[in-house]
Amino acid sequence: MKTLSIKDIAVKANVSITTVSFIINGKAKEKSISEAVIKKVEKIIEESGYKPNQIARSLRTGNSNIIGLIVEDISNSFFAKIARLIEDKAYKRGYKIIYSSTENNVEKAQELINMFKSRKVDAYIISPVKGLEEDIRMLINDNKPVILFDRNLRDVQANYVGANHFSASYQSIESFIAQGKRNIALVTTDIDVQQITERFEGYKKALLDYGLTYREELVLKIHFNQNEASTIDEIKMLFNSEKIDAVLFATNYLAISGLKVLKSIKKKIGAELSVIAYDDHEAFELHTPGISTVQQPLEEIAETVIKLLLSQLSSKSILPNQEVIIPATLIIRN
Amino acid sequence: MKTLSIKDIAVKANVSITTVSFIINGKAKEKSISEAVIKKVEKIIEESGYKPNQIARSLRTGNSNIIGLIVEDISNSFFAKIARLIEDKAYKRGYKIIYSSTENNVEKAQELINMFKSRKVDAYIISPVKGLEEDIRMLINDNKPVILFDRNLRDVQANYVGANHFSASYQSIESFIAQGKRNIALVTTDIDVQQITERFEGYKKALLDYGLTYREELVLKIHFNQNEASTIDEIKMLFNSEKIDAVLFATNYLAISGLKVLKSIKKKIGAELSVIAYDDHEAFELHTPGISTVQQPLEEIAETVIKLLLSQLSSKSILPNQEVIIPATLIIRN
DNA sequence: TTGATGTGGTAAAACGATTTACTATAACCA
DNA sequence: TGGTTATAGTAAATCGTTTTACCACATCAA
């Protein structure tokens, strides 16, 4: 069974292709097609189950009603949840989402952008990698709406939606200090994006503001792409070699590795050791005792991203870039 | 900056469009294009950064090098991980993946299939929903490779890759019985797909084989699309009204809700209550005590799916359907 | 009666590639 | 010599839409 084309419909209805096209695209009235013809054609379309070929349509119009979403790793629960929320919201507005993971790898990210470009996606939502600046600038030059989220790039002017990482991190450390903690460690990654450096800056600033000294040996920077076993080893070393009474994990997957370490070395979380994890995860709520976390407002981030994107898509002129910083909240559990 | 077309390259190189196309598609040799021309054109392509328009290409060739992946919910860690693995493997073979979630909703699933169809995806990987039989049959009639995974549909002949749910569930119950448990509950969902019914059958069969009676009031079927709060309420009721010394949760998200309940009603997991969760999750390893789980071999499932798919894609003739059942393993933790 | 305006529609170009069928010349060889 | 084959390449059709420019006829106002 060959798939039907607009031509088949035109033949069946005994009208021109043009007429069918106008009807499909809701331009019938405006193009003064009679009510009778509209009805007839619509009936035939309905009965035959004809669906326009989106590829042909995209080729002609240059757009696709598709939004490309590029994240670091779709299997990370933070991104998976954001992706799902964005997908839902976009879907309701008639846009489809296609997504892919960069694995924090510039080349892969560039390839993805190229793939999306050659598929003529209408807009991009990107959680960027350092090194992608030029590619993103080209998209913007091309007049494609681009929204960065989760992490910003200093050297590129674009729309951005993200949490206030500095202040969330600062508050976390403040809360440790309020509990009387003095030996506060930070386990973070070595990826050089604003989101991560801000968390680091917040940590540092809070220490200094409260008269504590910043000690390099209490900060562990895990190499991004390494396997979990090595991460666990490094964290284990940190805990074995330093006296630590509080620790902030800068990402949820680091916190998970960290909790595994604590479990294995039988270090109890509680009075003698406080833990805060960045980005919530089911495991933290269920953990005994509950693990305090910095919660990013996923729903709000997704909604803001989509809103920004749609306003760009629907406006003829180029809108000024917006940076939306949404507060993250510290959830204390125990 | 307008994007370049094959015509621009042809003009620059002073050859015909045909020649450029042959070179791009590696058919230069076969079509006897001289080495000199090949070099020249390749240089120009390289320098100009020309990338073929995939939309035009798809329109002409009728395929897209894209595989459509349809899952229940991309934010569920099981699907997110499978998706990521499939994405990686497909990517290495030159295929891109686009994915979307059905939310276990037939209409949404149908819409997704239609969207993929009109984008001419080359093949489909589907974790199906009951009610999708006819749509899947149409894809197969259309000669598109289709692989079902995670769940099978009885009324449709297709390739299928999944774990041995019956036996995993049976073994879980066996292990409870070996520990001397007698009041064994099952918390499952009401979605009517083979995967879920098999888990239920395994539960039932094991009870009967070991001389225990199947008691309906120990089986809780949670309505699929309900919010977590109601789920928690129902599970709480189950634990409050029945004497239970072991429980099997048929999905990881149900187990997470269940663990929240146990935590809130302060029921300790251990000697007096054993728990097994279906599909692993970070939270289970970290939980104190560790939660035993049925682990599906994600890597193997993904690999099998892709292998099956690629063999279909590359074979001219239609291959017979295959059903690959992969054993799941019970991981005992405490 | 003429020019403008409205109504109801269509033919054909365009989007950017792939692919089929063709041409022109050279080389070969019997 | 002429017929065949190889070499090097191209023109044009095609995929399925959207959109521009146009046509034919009717109506209306001046």
Rg from Cα positions in chain B: 26
Give the pLDDT score at B327. Answer: 95
Two tokens, residue B210: 């070991």
Residue B1 pLDDT > 70? no
Inform me whether the C-beta atom of residue A80 falls under 8 Å from chain B C-beta atoms: yes
Please indicate whether, in this complex, the C-beta atoms of B87 and A74 are within 8 angstroms of each other: yes
According to DSSP, the β-strands at B66-71 and B123-126 are: parallel
According to DSSP, the β-strands at B292-295 and B329-331 are: antiparallel
CA distance A330 to A316: 40
Fold of B63-163+299-327: Rossmann fold (3.40.50)
CATH of A64-163+299-327, one of 3.40.50.2300, 3.40.640.10, 3.40.1080.10, 2.30.30.90: 3.40.50.2300
Interface test with A, best of B75, B135, B137, B251 (most A CBs within 10 A): B75
Q: Which residues of B touch A77 (CB under 8 A)?
A: 75, 77, 80
Q: Which residues of B touch A288 (CB under 8 A)?
A: 263, 287-288
Average pLDDT, chain B: 92
* Nearest alpha-carbon partner for B126 in A125, A127, B140, A65: B140
End-to-end CA gap in chain B? 62
Q: Are B173 and B184 in contact (CB under 8 A)?
A: yes
* Nearest alpha-carbon partner for A202 in A178, A176, A171: A171
Give the pLDDT score at A1. Answer: 59
User: How far is C-alpha B160 from the geometric centre of its chain's CA atoms?
Assistant: 11
Residue with tokens 């994006």: A193
CA distance B170 to A157: 58
Residue B101 pLDDT > 80? yes
User: May I ask the CATH class of domain B165-295?
Assistant: alpha beta
Give strand letter and number of the nucleotide nearest B18 (CA to C1'): D10
CA distance A308 to A146: 9
Report CA(B48)–C1'(D19) in Å, whole number: 30
B94 or A55, greater pLDDT: A55
Burial zone of A318 (CB within 10 Å; 0-12 exposed, 13-18 middle, 19+ buried): exposed
Two tokens, residue B59: 């329109």
Quick check: helix, strand or coil at residue B229? helix
Residues B227-270: pLDDT tens digits? 999 999 999 999 999 999 999 999 999 999 999 999 999 999 98
Three-state SS across A59-128?
HHHCCCCEEEEEECCCCCHHHHHHHHHHHHHHHHCCCEEEEEECCCCHHHHHHHHHHHHHCCCCEEEECC
Please indicate whether, in this complex, the C-beta atoms of A75 and B74 are within 8 angstroms of each other: no
- A54/chain B closest Cα distance in angstroms: 5
Instruction: Name the residue type at position B198.
Output: E
Give strand letter and number of the nucleotide nearest A59 (CA to C1'): C15
Using CA atoms, how far residue A81 sits from A61, A281, A328, B74, B300, in Å, is 32, 11, 16, 8, 25
Query: Is the domain covering A6-52 a CATH 1.10.260.40 domain?
Result: yes
CA distance A83 to A144: 20
Q: How many helices (H) and strands (E) does chain A have?
A: 13, 12
E-state strands within A128-218: 146-149, 159-163, 184-189
The answer to whether B63-163+299-327 and B165-295 have equal CATH topology is: yes
Q: Are B50 and B78 in contact (CB under 8 A)?
A: no
Q: Which residues of A touch B259 (CB under 8 A)?
A: 286
* pLDDT tens, chain A, 334 aa long: 578 999 999 999 999 999 999 999 999 888 889 999 999 999 999 999 999 999 999 999 998 989 999 999 888 889 989 999 998 888 888 888 888 888 888 998 998 898 888 888 999 999 999 899 999 999 998 889 999 999 888 889 999 999 999 999 999 999 999 999 999 999 999 988 888 999 999 999 999 999 999 999 999 999 988 999 999 999 999 999 999 999 999 999 999 999 999 999 999 998 889 999 999 999 999 998 889 999 999 999 999 999 999 998 887 677 899 999 999 999 999 7
Residue with tokens 């030996």: A183
Residues 6+ apart with CB under 8 A from A218: A183, A184, A185, A186, A242, A244
In this structure, how many other beta carbons lie within 10 angstroms of the beta carbon of residue A92?
9
CA distance B71 to B155: 19
- Work out if A120's Cβ lies within 7 angstroms of strand D: no
Give the pLDDT score at B261. Answer: 96
CA distance A309 to A307: 5
Q: In A, residues 27-56, which contact B (CB 8 Å cutoff)?
A: 51-56
Quick check: helix, strand or coil at residue A316? coil
Q: Which residues of A touch B59 (CB under 8 A)?
A: 53, 55-56, 59
Give the pLDDT score at A213. Answer: 95
Residue spans of the domains in chain A: they are 6-52, 64-163+299-327, 165-295
Q: In B, residues 102-161, which contact A (CB 8 Å cutoff)?
A: 114-115, 117-120, 141-142
Three-state SS across B20-36?
HHHHHCCCCCCCCCCHH
Two tokens, residue B5: 């077309």
